[in-house]
Structure 1
Amino acid sequence: MISGETTLDVRRRLPGVPAHVGIIMDGNGRWAAMRGLPRIEGHRRGLEALRGTVRAAIDFGLDYLTVYSFSMENWNRPIEEVADLMGLLKRFIRNDLGELHKSGVKVKVIGGRTDLKPDIRALLDEAEDLTRSNTRLTLIVAFNYGSRQEIAAAARALAEEVAAGRLKPSEINETLLSQRLDTAGVPDPDLIIRTSGEKRLSNFLMWQAAYSEFVFLPMHWPDFDRHAFETALAEFSARERRFGRVTAQGQNGKTKKI
């Protein structure tokens, strides 16, 4: 290690570390059921796993970490469970926001807010406002989020600009639509991890994940730890990302993308 250099600095220079990782934190309820515990205990343990994951993301040198915390479809869960989840969100922001800010984490929340209760909206705004200038890691929390709804809203925004005469239909392209998504200005995820053994996106970053690598882990989210994170990153670094191109063998024996 170079004198005066931190572990974080060294990790940022290591090859193969993705800039942006998305995580579908799945399996809290099943983790609890397997142990004869109430579902809320699974969510509490899942929150502990999230805390450790954020710390690990900082150490690994990630620039962005996006976590799927609450989908629009989750409102269909039992009222008591939704209330418990809202309570955990409040406690997380009240108890962890100061530490996140101190660690240089910028919090960004994506998803609908207009139909949320005022106290929830205020907490989300507070988290973003306090950490807005931080640069060590951007933690993107997908809350009350659905990718189909996000894409539909972006398309609607473009349609309104066309109707107002500010945009021609022929001018609409991928870049313009991307700029109207909740993740505007954020690079697409290089890697998406899903726990619990399920192998689907479940309405998470469907536009942004067009060329993401996927790692599906058999463990439930409360069991996700630093070692599991390292395992997923190692699998990612071993893959070759071609983005639709092919790999040819060069004369010097090295591979090149064409």
Structure 2
Amino acid sequence: MFLTYETNYDLLKLNKKVKFLLKANKLELNERNFLKMSLEFASKKSDYAAALIANEEYVFQCTGRNIIFPESNELIKSIMESRFDISEGFNISFPFNSFVIAMPRDSYIKPLLVSFIDKETRAEQVNKLGFNEDAAILSVLYRDDKNDVIKSVLKKNDVPKILDSKNFYDFQEKYTTANIQDSKLKSCEHMFNAVKFACSLMIYHSACGGMMEGFPEWDRVRFPKHSKKIDYSGHVIVDTISNDDCLDVVNVKPHFRNLKDPRFYTGIYSDIEPGSRWTLVSEHTKTRR
């Protein structure tokens, strides 16, 4: 079974207190009015993170409710173990500005809500977050075991470090000097896995394609309570790694190479941001050569 990300509106829209507050303010029950109420509460508490979460969930609900399904646990494992050739000038492109990545119930990665911070809104948002104007590119939300929303915002220079690390502890050893309390290690590990998978999956999609319209036919999907399949747009990312003839060798791990040369951004690719295309290279094939 696939699990999807549940917004606060999904969880609270039938809550008696929420319905009472909306009615008291002569507001109908809908996403827009729920956002308005959420932002007012966040403002009273000076909780900027809560305001961003409310806004990102609202954008997802109002821009097609796109959900991406990785085809299998094997694909998730392959993507998380992939190697990346990253140098200056790289970019990551996203099929939608806001989307959910659904995950199998037994996955160690939680369902994610991914928000791409495009150039038009970047300056306004990232200045409040304390980043350089062109630094922030991605926001990832997920719910922890207590059902609280965890938010992580990535700066562009964070991405190579995350993709270069096998896991959180490898990342910690290579790139951090902070002393993290033992009680917070598990939370940091979940956050690392979330942002690494979101970035890696988009690179995989850029290099291999294979995204098909629709929902998984081989497994059930658990949508948020009181929601229906028709409320969402489904997209399945197919496992092209294990099915590729050139990768028909045991223990082959994908190697993603960033395409930076201007010739890769002509013709049908002329509208794509330079540095955002990737190609899949077989480590085995490269060795044999």
Question: Shared fold (TM-score greater than 0.5)?
Answer: no
- TM value normalised by structure 2: 0.24
